[in-house]
C-alpha cells in the first residue's frame, strides 16, 4: 500500500515536472516567434501538436482546428499552395534550411523560412516530423528596401550613381569583346538653382522627379538611365547606331521640353537641359575616364549657352586639363605673391604728351625667364574660381604704391588706370577699401582711374551705378573698357556715369580696312564726345592708324606703336625723360 502511494506520488511529481517543462518549452517557442508542428506518425490517426504563435500568424484561433497540412495550405491563395507544398517537400528531403519562400494569404504577403526534421524507421516510413516555420517578412522587406536603395535613386526610380557606374563598366567590358562602342550622355537641368530658389526645394524635387520619370522610359536592355546628382542625369547607350543613340534621345528630350511640367500645386514649369556626350573607347581608356570626360564636355556645353549638346573633343579636354593646372598654380602664386605689374603708357593724341599708364598684371615664371601665361588666359580662370579677389587686391595695393613712389620722385601729373573685375566691384566694401588704399598712399584720387567692362552691369545695374557714382564723388575716374566687344549699344551709353570710353582694338583693326567699320568708329567717337566722355583708342599698332585716329579727334592713344607694357623700372626711365 505504502509502496503504491509512493509510486503514485512519484508519478504525480514527474507529471508535474513534465507539465512544467512543457509549459516552459511552449513559452520559449512562443517567444521565438517560430511556429512548430510536431507530427507523430506512430499514432493513428497521425497526432499533430502545434507550438508557437500560430494564432498571431494565421490571424485566427486555430487551436480548435485539427491540424492537417491541407488546413495550412488552405490559408494560402490557391495559386501559391502548390508552390508551398513543393517547397516543404524539398526541405523535408534535403533536411536543411533552404531559401525562404514567398506566399500570399488572402490579404497578406509572407516570406517564410522553413525547417524540417524527419525520423524514419528501417523501412523508411516516417516516425516523427518536426517542422519549424518563421515569418521573415519584415526582414525580407527591409532587405528589399535596402536592395532597392543600393541600386536605384529613391526620388526618380532610375539607377543611382554607384549602380549606374557598375552597369556602365559592364557595358564597356562587353563592348570590348564585341568590338562596339558605348555612348554616355550627361543631362543637366539649366539654371536649376534659380528654379529651386523660385519654386522651393520641395517642388524642385518634384520637378526632378517628373523629369527623371520621363527619362526612365528610355531605360531598356541597351540603354541605362541614372541620376548622379541633384539635377544631373546620365544616359548610356550600348552600341549606338541608327535611331539608337544619345543624339536621338537628346532630340526626343528637346521635343518633350517644349511643353511644361505640371507640379502638384498646378505650377507649370518650362525647363531646358544641357547635354555632354562622350563615347567609349574613343573618349577614354576606361569607363570612368569616359564618364569624367562626358561631364567635362557638359560644362563646355553650359558655357556655350542653355539647351545645347556638346560632343567630346580632345581640344576641350586639353583646355580643361590646362585650366585645372593653371588654377592650381594660381593658388600657389597667390600664396607666394608671385605677380608683378607692368605699365603701358597712354598719350594725348593732340600734343603727344604722356597722359598716364594702364597697370597690367604679369605672372612671371619663377623658374624661367618669361611669364607663365598671359592675363587674357589666367584672369578669366581667376574670375571663375574667385581667385580674382586676392589677385585684384594685390593689383590695387601695388598700383597705388607705385603711384605714390612716382609722385614723390617725379612730380609729374599723370593718371594710372587699374583694371577691376566685376566680382571685385560687386564686393560690399570695394569702394571703402579702394579709397582707404588711396588715402593710405597719399595719392590724389583724381589721378586714379578704374577700368570696368560692360559685364559689371549685368547682375545688378542699380547697385553698380550707385557705386560708380560714389567713386566719382570721391574724385576717382571711371573708364568703360573694351567698348565694342560686348552688348555695346550707343543708346545705353548716355545713361552711364563714366569719364572715359576705351574703344576696343578690334575697331581700329577693321576701321582702316573697311568703310562701314570706319563709319561706325567715327560715330562712336563723335557720340562719346557729345556725351562728354574722354575717348581712348586701344591697340594702336601703326602710324597709319595713329594718323587716322588723330584726324578724327580721338583724345588718347594707347598701343604698341607708342609703347608696350613695361616693368616699373623701365617705366621710370620714361618718366625721367618727361621731367622738364
Ligand atoms: P585690356 O584691359 O583690354 O588690356 C589691354 C591689352 O591689350 C593688354 O594685354 C595689352 O598688353 C594689350 N595691348 C596693348 N596695346 C596693344 C597693341 O598695340 N597690340 C596688341 N596686340 N595688344 C596690345 P594684356 O596685358 O595681355 O592683358 C589682357 C587682358 O587681361 C586685359 O585686357 C584685361 O582684360 C586683363 N587684365 C590685365 N591685367 C589685369 C588686372 O590687373 N586686373 C584685371 N581684372 N584684369 C586684367
Ligand atoms: Ca583695360
Ligand atoms: Ca581693353
Largest CA distance in the chain: 150
Compute, in angstroms, the gap from residue 452 CA to the centroid of ligand 2. 8
**Is residue 425 within 6 Å of ligand 1 at its C-beta?**
no
**Is residue 541 within 6 Å of ligand 1 at its C-beta?**
yes
Q: Where are the alpha helices (DSSP H) in 367-413?
A: 375-385, 388-410
158 three-class SS: coil
Nearest residue (by CA) to ligand 1, atom 13, is 539
Phi-psi region of 21 (alpha: psi -120 to 50; beta: other; left: phi over 0): alpha
**Is residue 284 within 6 Å of ligand 1 at its C-beta?**
no
**Is residue 338 within 6 Å of ligand 1 at its C-beta?**
no
Compute, in angstroms, the gap from residue 76 CA to the centroid of ligand 3. 83
pLDDT attached to residue 68: 65
Compute, in angstroms, the gap from residue 356 CA to the centroid of ligand 2. 13
**Is residue 276 within 6 Å of ligand 1 at its C-beta?**
no
Ligand 1 atom, smallest distance to 424 CA = 44
Return averaged pLDDT per consecutive 10 residues of the chain, 580 residues in all: 74 79 77 83 83 75 63 80 86 71 81 86 89 85 83 94 96 97 98 94 94 96 96 97 95 98 94 98 97 97 95 97 96 94 97 97 93 97 95 98 96 96 95 97 98 89 94 98 78 87 92 87 90 96 96 96 98 90
Ligand 1 atom, smallest distance to 375 CA = 30
Nearest residue (by CA) to ligand 1, atom 22, is 539
CB 456 within 8 A of CB 427: no
pLDDT attached to residue 285: 95
pLDDT attached to residue 92: 81
Among all bound ligands, the one having the nearest atom to the CA of 359 is 1
Alpha-carbon 156 to chain mean position: 17
Q: How far apart are CA 251 and CA 253, in angstroms?
A: 5
End-to-end CA distance of the chain: 150
**Is residue 563 within 6 Å of ligand 1 at its C-beta?**
no
Ligand 1 atom, smallest distance to 420 CA = 44
Compute, in angstroms, the gap from residue 82 CA to the centroid of ligand 2. 85
Phi, psi of 351 (to 5 degrees): -115, 0
Alpha-carbon 392 to chain mean position: 28
Among all bound ligands, the one having the nearest atom to the CA of 362 is 1
Pocket mutation for ligand 1, best pick of 343, 360, 561 (most atoms within 8 Å of C-beta): 360
Nearest residue (by CA) to ligand 1, atom 36, is 375
Compute, in angstroms, the gap from residue 223 CA to the centroid of ligand 1. 49
The 10 Å CB-count burial string (b at 16+, else e) for 105-128 is: eeeeebbbbbbbebeeeeeeeeee
Ligand 1 atom, smallest distance to 502 CA = 3
Beta pairing, strands 47-51 & 34-40: antiparallel
Compute, in angstroms, the gap from residue 571 CA to the centroid of ligand 1. 17
**Is residue 395 within 6 Å of ligand 1 at its C-beta?**
yes
**Is residue 361 within 6 Å of ligand 1 at its C-beta?**
yes
What's the CA dihedral at 336, 341, 342, 347 to 10 degrees?
A: 180
Q: Where are the alpha helices (DSSP H) in 33-160?
A: 54-58, 69-74, 78-94, 137-151
DSSP 235: E
**Is residue 482 within 6 Å of ligand 1 at its C-beta?**
yes
Compute, in angstroms, the gap from residue 359 CA to the centroid of ligand 1. 9
Nearest residue (by CA) to ligand 1, atom 41, is 361
Pocket mutation for ligand 1, best pick of 378, 379, 381, 434 (most atoms within 8 Å of C-beta): 379
**Is residue 375 within 6 Å of ligand 1 at its C-beta?**
yes
Among all bound ligands, the one having the nearest atom to the CA of 390 is 1
Compute, in angstroms, the gap from residue 481 CA to the centroid of ligand 2. 6
**Is residue 344 within 6 Å of ligand 1 at its C-beta?**
yes
**Is residue 345 within 6 Å of ligand 1 at its C-beta?**
no
Q: How far apart are CA 440 and CA 56, in angstroms?
A: 86
Nearest residue (by CA) to ligand 1, atom 16, is 539
Per residue in 277-326, pLDDT (tens digit) is 999 999 999 999 999 999 999 999 999 999 999 999 999 999 999 999 99
Q: Grid coordinates representing 291?
A: 564618364
What's the CA dihedral at 67, 69, 73, 75 to 10 degrees?
A: 0
Among all bound ligands, the one having the nearest atom to the CA of 360 is 1
pLDDT attached to residue 50: 82
Amino acid at each position: 500500500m505504502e509502496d503504491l502511494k509512493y509510486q503514485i506520488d512519484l508519478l504525480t511529481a514527474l507529471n508535474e515536472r513534465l507539465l512544467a517543462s512543457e509549459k516552459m518549452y511552449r513559452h520559449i517557442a512562443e517567444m521565438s516567434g517560430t511556429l512548430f508542428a510536431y507530427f507523430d506518425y506512430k499514432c493513428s490517426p497521425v497526432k499533430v501538436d502545434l507550438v508557437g504563435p500560430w494564432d498571431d500568424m494565421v490571424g485566427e484561433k486555430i487551436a480548435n482546428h485539427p491540424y492537417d497540412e491541407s488546413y495550412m495550405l488552405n490559408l494560402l491563395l490557391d495559386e501559391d499552395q502548390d508552390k508551398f507544398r513543393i517547397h516543404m517537400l524539398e526541405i523535408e528531403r534535403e533536411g536543411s534550411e533552404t531559401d525562404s519562400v514567398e506566399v500570399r494569404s488572402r490579404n497578406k504577403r509572407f516570406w517564410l523560412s522553413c525547417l524540417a526534421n524527419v525520423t524514419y524507421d528501417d523501412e523508411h516510413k516516417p516516425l516523427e516530423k518536426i517542422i519549424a516555420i518563421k515569418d521573415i517578412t519584415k526582414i525580407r522587406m527591409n532587405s528589399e528596401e535596402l536592395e532597392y536603395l543600393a541600386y536605384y535613386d529613391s526620388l526618380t526610380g532610375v539607377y543611382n550613381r554607384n549602380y549606374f557606374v557598375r552597369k556602365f563598366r559592364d557595358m564597356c567590358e562587353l563592348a570590348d569583346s564585341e568590338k562596339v562602342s558605348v555612348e554616355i550622355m550627361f543631362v543637366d537641368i539649366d539654371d536649376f538653382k534659380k528654379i529651386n530658389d523660385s519654386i522651393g526645394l520641395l517642388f524642385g524635387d518634384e520637378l526632378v522627379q517628373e523629369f527623371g520619370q520621363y527619362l526612365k522610359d528610355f531605360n531598356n536592355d541597351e540603354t541605362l538611365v541614372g541620376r548622379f546628382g541633384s539635377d544631373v542625369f546620365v544616359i548610356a547607350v550600348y552600341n549606338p547606331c541608327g535611331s539608337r543613340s544619345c543624339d536621338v534621345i537628346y532630340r526626343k528630350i528637346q521635343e518633350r521640353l517644349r511643353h511644361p511640367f505640371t507640379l502638384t500645386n498646378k505650377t507649370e514649369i518650362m525647363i531646358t537641359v544641357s547635354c555632354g556626350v562622350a563615347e567609349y573607347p574613343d573618349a577614354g581608356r576606361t569607363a570612368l575616364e569616359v564618364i569624367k570626360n562626358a561631364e567635362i564636355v557638359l560644362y563646355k556645353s553650359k558655357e556655350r549657352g542653355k539647351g545645347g549638346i556638346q560632343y567630346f573633343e580632345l581640344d576641350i579636354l586639353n583646355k580643361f586639363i590646362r585650366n585645372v593646372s593653371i588654377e592650381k598654380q594660381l593658388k600657389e602664386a597667390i600664396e607666394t605673391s608671385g605677380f608683378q605689374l607692368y605699365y603701358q603708357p597712354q598719350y594725348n593724341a593732340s600734343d603727344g604728351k604722356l597722359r598716364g599708364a594702364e597697370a597690367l598684371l604679369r605672372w612671371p615664371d619663377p623658374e624661367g625667364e618669361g611669364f607663365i601665361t598671359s592675363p587674357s588666359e589666367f584672369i578669366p580662370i581667376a574670375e571663375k574660381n574667385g581667385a580674382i579677389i586676392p589677385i585684384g587686391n594685390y593689383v590695387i595695393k601695388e598700383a597705388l604704391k607705385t603711384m605714390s613712389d612716382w609722385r614723390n620722385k617725379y612730380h609729374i601729373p599723370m593718371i594710372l588706370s587699374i583694371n577691376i573685375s566685376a566680382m571685385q566691384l560687386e564686393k560690399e566694401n570695394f569702394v571703402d577699401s579702394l579709397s582707404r588704399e588711396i588715402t593710405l598712399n597719399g595719392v590724389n584720387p583724381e589721378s586714379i582711374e578704374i577700368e570696368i567692362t560692360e559685364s559689371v552691369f549685368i547682375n545688378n545695374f542699380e547697385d553698380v551705378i550707385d557705386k560708380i557714382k560714389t567713386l566719382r564723388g570721391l574724385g576717382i575716374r571711371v573708364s568703360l573698357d573694351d567698348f565694342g566687344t560686348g552688348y555695346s549699344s550707343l543708346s545705353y551709353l548716355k545713361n552711364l556715369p563714366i569719364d572715359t570710353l576705351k574703344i576696343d582694338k578690334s575697331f581700329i583693326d577693321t576701321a582702316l580696312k573697311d568703310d562701314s567699320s570706319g563709319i561706325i568708329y567715327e560715330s562712336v567717337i563723335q557720340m562719346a564726345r557729345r556725351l562728354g566722355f574722354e575717348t581712348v583708342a586701344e591697340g594702336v599698332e601703326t602710324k597709319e592708324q595713329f594718323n587716322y585716329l588723330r584726324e578724327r579727334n580721338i583724345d588718347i592713344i594707347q598701343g604698341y606703336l607708342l609703347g608696350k607694357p613695361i616693368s616699373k623700372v623701365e617705366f621710370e626711365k620714361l618718366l625721367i625723360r618727361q621731367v622738364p
